């Protein structure tokens, strides 16, 4: 009726400068800098597909420029396609901060996802 093309973008765990303070990476960094323990909900083996903010912005610009003549409504995933465990993030923080991090593992929040994993095939296909 209105001849509008709609593009929906699904971002996977975006992090970077000015991140939300409740997100794992920034929360962990703050705790490490304060020399406090890190609280992990679950065993730390849950996987997250982390996406750096600059990559999310670049993908958004790219997606907005994609001519989509076939589909009037499209959904695009934006992520690294490389899920990483919270324990791996903590080990990296230990390595680069030269500190032994104290971890407090607590019961997993049942509503929390065990794994997020993006698939950017649709973006790749649209760009070719």
Domain definitions of the chain by residue range? 6-127
Among 94, 84, 25, which residue's Cα sits nearest to residue 49? 84
Work out the angle between the directed axes of helices 86-97 and 24-33 (0-180°, nearest 10): 30
Tokens at residue 49, please? 């597909």
Q: Do residues 23 and 13 lie in contact, with contact meaning Cβ atoms separated by under 8 Å?
A: yes
pTM as predicted = 0.82
Q: Over the chain, what is the mean pLDDT?
A: 90
Residue 98, helix vs strand vs coil: coil
Q: Residue 119 — pLDDT band, cuts 50, 70, 90? A: very high
What is the CATH topology of the domain spanning 6-127?
Rossmann fold (3.40.50)
What is the length of the chain?
128
Q: Determine the Cα–Cα distance for residues 99 and 96; give it in Å rounded to an integer.
A: 8
Tokens at residue 26, please? 């920034």
Among 15, 36, 21, which residue's Cα sits nearest to residue 99? 36
DSSP state letter for 101? P
Higher pLDDT, 78 or 64: 78
Q: What is the pLDDT of residue 68?
A: 64
Least reliable range by pLDDT among 36-40, 63-67, 68-72: 68-72
Tell whether the model's pLDDT for residue 47 goes beyond 90.
Answer: yes
């Amino acid at each position: 009726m209105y001849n509008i093309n709609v593009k929906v973008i699904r971002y996977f765990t975006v992090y970077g400068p000015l991140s939300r303070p409740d997100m794992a990476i920034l929360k962990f960094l703050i705790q490490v800098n304060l020399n406090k323990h890190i609280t992990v909900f679950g065993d730390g083996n849950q996987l997250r597909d982390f996406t750096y903010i600059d990559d999310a912005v670049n993908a958004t610009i790219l997606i907005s420029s994609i001519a989509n003549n076939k589909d009037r409504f499209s959904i695009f995933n934006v992520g690294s396609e490389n899920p990483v465990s919270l324990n791996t993030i903590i080990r990296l923080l230990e390595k680069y901060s030269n500190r032994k991090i104290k971890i407090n593992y607590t019961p997993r929040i049942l509503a929390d996802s065990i794994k997020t994993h993006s698939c950017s095939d649709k973006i790749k296909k649209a760009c070719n």
